[in-house]
């Protein structure tokens, strides 16, 4: 049994960007990086109104499927110099979109030994959010990998589409659209990782 | 594989808490889907980001204007631990706060007629040492009004952010000051289950107070811990 109790979560409030965002924290790779992709979207409230002060944090493996972390046991898979795999993307006040530039992650193992489909882990916070919401972004064009993904198969089929990012532009870096919705029939699937 | 204890409703506020109005339309309606932790969740940015970060732990001077911030100079210190009591060492702790008048140095601040301190930027960072100890020097933030309800004021608070060792240890919270009469009126504080609220209130600690210099407050932070190691032989390993 745990001997101490967790410190309760509180909202980041409207002014988190004073500390929790620095320029380029949403650029995980340099503009020159091969295989660079762009992901953008809105965080929508119950009325479908894009929030102006939400924060999306992302965590991902590199293109080879390796996490820069001491608990990733796959030391035979190379790290990418300079690539951490963490990003912070606040919603832009003018466009009401968040965006980040990164590389598509490689496949990582699931607890049952299968390969997970390429995915980004997202943590959504904001004013009016007393706790972080955890979700995942998958790529709609990875049909085969998605169909067998350890996490996606645990999501009711009718809701899986809320976790798919769609290619919307191939001019320059391929751009994927991923909106995060609170409430409504198309609410984004959020997870508790147990 | 490691497994971190998931968040419990006994420790954390609900997503929706009507008294804090903006939660109503910004909270999930469906229940979260329970999924076993994978390598994506038991890893996280904390170790790598912390390794790259530098301390910036004196908010009374880090505006670098040549003048010190105005207010009650205060030391905020404590340990970052996991639920098993193990120190979370070498981990970045980030804070942001209002100045002594209750003003935030944020361009979109909803201002009220109180003077802003030009010598206070209101944020900082500090890495925990081997025992999990962090230490900031700052000024005590002022309470500030907000639009949640009629004559609403936030109690004095400092926002804390810790990534922790894994994605699922992410914690953003707020530290409050002991004896603040506004605590009993604050819906954000009250969203936390009553038995857990006290964990958000720092203790005044005279042994931290520095003579002729600053008042001392102690605030420990406890992150989700790794489930006590079950052996595979015992058959309790979940994955
Ligand atoms: Fe605040």
Whole-number Å distance, alpha carbon B102 to ligand 1 midpoint, is 9
Active site members of B: 104, 144, 154, 157, 159
CB contact under 8 A, B42 and A71: yes
Q: Using pLDDT thresholds of 50, 70 and 90, give the confidence band for residue B230.
A: low
Interface membership of B209 toward A (CB under 8 Å): no
Mean pLDDT (chain B) is 94
Q: Token pair for residue A157?
A: 């089929």
- Burial class, A39, CB count within 10 angstroms (exposed 0-12 / middle 13-18 / buried 19+): buried
Q: What is the pLDDT of residue B233?
A: 43
Q: Calculate mean pLDDT across residues A10-31.
A: 96
CB contact under 8 A, B26 and A3: no
Q: What is the pLDDT of residue B229?
A: 63
Residue B176: what are its φ and ψ, rounded to 5°?
A: -110, 170
pLDDT tens, residue by residue, A60-89: 999 999 999 999 999 999 999 999 999 999
CB contact under 8 A, A130 and B191: yes
Q: Measure the CA–CA gap between B71 and B80, rounded to whole angstroms.
A: 26
Interface membership of A113 toward B (CB under 8 Å): no
What percent of chain B has a predicted confidence (pLDDT) above 90?
92
Q: What is the pLDDT of residue B234?
A: 39
Q: Using pLDDT thresholds of 50, 70 and 90, give the confidence band for residue B237.
A: very low
What's the gap in Å between the CA of A8 and the closest CA on chain B?
5
Q: Measure the CA–CA gap between A62 and A83, rounded to whole angstroms.
A: 7
Q: Token pair for residue B173?
A: 């919270």
Q: Using pLDDT thresholds of 50, 70 and 90, give the confidence band for residue B95.
A: very high
Strands B92-97 and A98-103: unpaired
pLDDT tens, residue by residue, A129-186: 999 999 999 999 999 999 999 999 999 999 999 999 999 999 889 999 999 999 999 9
pLDDT tens, residue by residue, B39-79: 999 999 999 999 999 999 999 999 999 999 999 999 999 99
- Which residues contact residue B64 at a Cβ distance below 8 angstroms, ignoring those fewer than 6 apart? none
Find the CB nearest B95 among A19, A51, A60: A19
| Positive or negative torsion for Cα A154, A156, A162, A166 | positive
Burial B8-25 (b: 16+ CB within 10 A, else e): eeebbbebbbeebebbeb
Q: Measure the CA–CA gap between B90 and B75, rounded to whole angstroms.
A: 20
What's the gap in Å between the CA of B87 and the closest CA on chain A?
12
* B198 C-beta neighbours (distance < 10 Å), count: 12
CB contact under 8 A, A5 and B196: yes
pLDDT tens, residue by residue, B119-165: 999 999 999 999 999 999 999 999 999 999 999 999 999 999 999 99
Element (H, E) at B196: helix B194-197
Q: Calculate mean pLDDT across residues B214-218.
A: 98
Q: What is the pLDDT of residue A188?
A: 98
Q: Token pair for residue A154?
A: 């645990």
Residue found by looking up tokens 């009993």 in the block: B184
What's the gap in Å between the CA of B104 and the closest CA on chain A?
8
Higher pLDDT, residue B227 or A181: A181
Q: Which of A85-99, A179-193, B104-118 has the lowest mean pLDDT?
A: B104-118
Q: CB within 5 A of ion ligand 1: which residues? A: A 13
Whole-number Å distance, alpha carbon A192 to ligand 1 midpoint, is 27
CB contact under 8 A, B15 and A130: yes
Residue B236 has pLDDT above 50, yes or no: no
Q: What is the pLDDT of residue B108?
A: 86
């Amino acid at each position: 049994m745990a001997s101490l109790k967790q410190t309760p979560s509180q909202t980041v409030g409207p002014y988190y960007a004073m500390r929790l965002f620095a320029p380029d924290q949403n650029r995980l790779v340099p503009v020159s990086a091969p295989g660079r992709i762009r992901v953008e979207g809105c965080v929508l409230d119950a009325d479908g109104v894009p929030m102006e002060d939400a924060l999306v944090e992302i965590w991902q493996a590199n293109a080879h499927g390796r996490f820069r972390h001491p608990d990733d046991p796959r030391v035979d898979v190379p790290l990418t110099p300079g690539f951490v795999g963490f990003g912070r993307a606040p919603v832009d006040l003018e466009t009401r979109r968040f965006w980040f530039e990164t590389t598509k992650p490689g496949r990582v193992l699931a607890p049952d030994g299968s390969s997970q489909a390429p995915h980004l882990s997202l943590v959504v916070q904001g004013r009016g959010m007393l706790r972080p919401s955890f979700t995942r972004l998958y790529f709609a064009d990875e049909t085969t990998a998605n169909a067998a993904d350890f996490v996606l198969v645990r999501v009711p089929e009718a809701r899986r589409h809320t976790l798919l990012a769609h290619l919307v532009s191939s001019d320059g870096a391929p751009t994927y659209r991923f909106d995060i919705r609170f409430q409504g029939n198309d609410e984004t699937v959020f997870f508790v990782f147990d | 594989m490691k497994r971190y204890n998931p968040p419990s409703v006994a420790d954390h506020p609900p997503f929706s808490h009507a008294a804090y109005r903006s939660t109503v339309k910004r909270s999930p309606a469906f229940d979260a889907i329970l999924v076993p932790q994978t390598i994506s969740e038991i890893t996280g940015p904390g170790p790598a980001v912390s390794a790259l970060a530098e301390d910036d732990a004196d908010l009374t001077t880090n505006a670098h204007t040549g003048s010190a911030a105005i207010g009650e100079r205060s030391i905020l210190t404590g340990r970052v631990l996991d639920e098993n009591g193990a120190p979370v060492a070498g981990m970045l702790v980030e804070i942001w706060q209002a100045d002594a008048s209750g003003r935030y140095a944020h361009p979109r601040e909803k201002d009220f007629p109180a003077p802003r301190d030009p010598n206070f930027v209101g944020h900082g960072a500090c890495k925990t040492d081997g025992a999990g100890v962090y230490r900031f020097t700052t000024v005590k933030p002022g309470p500030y009004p907000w639009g949640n309800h009629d004559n609403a004021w936030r109690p004095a608070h400092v926002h804390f952010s810790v990534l922790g060792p894994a994605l699922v240890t992410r914690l953003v919270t707020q530290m409050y000051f002991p004896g603040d009469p506004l605590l009993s009126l604050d819906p954000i504080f009250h969203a936390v289950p009553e038995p857990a609220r006290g964990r958000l209130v720092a203790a005044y600690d005279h042994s931290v107070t520095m003579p002729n210099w600053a008042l001392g407050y102690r605030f420990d932070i406890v992150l989700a811990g790794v489930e006590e190691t079950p052996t595979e032989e015992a058959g309790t390993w979940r994955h």
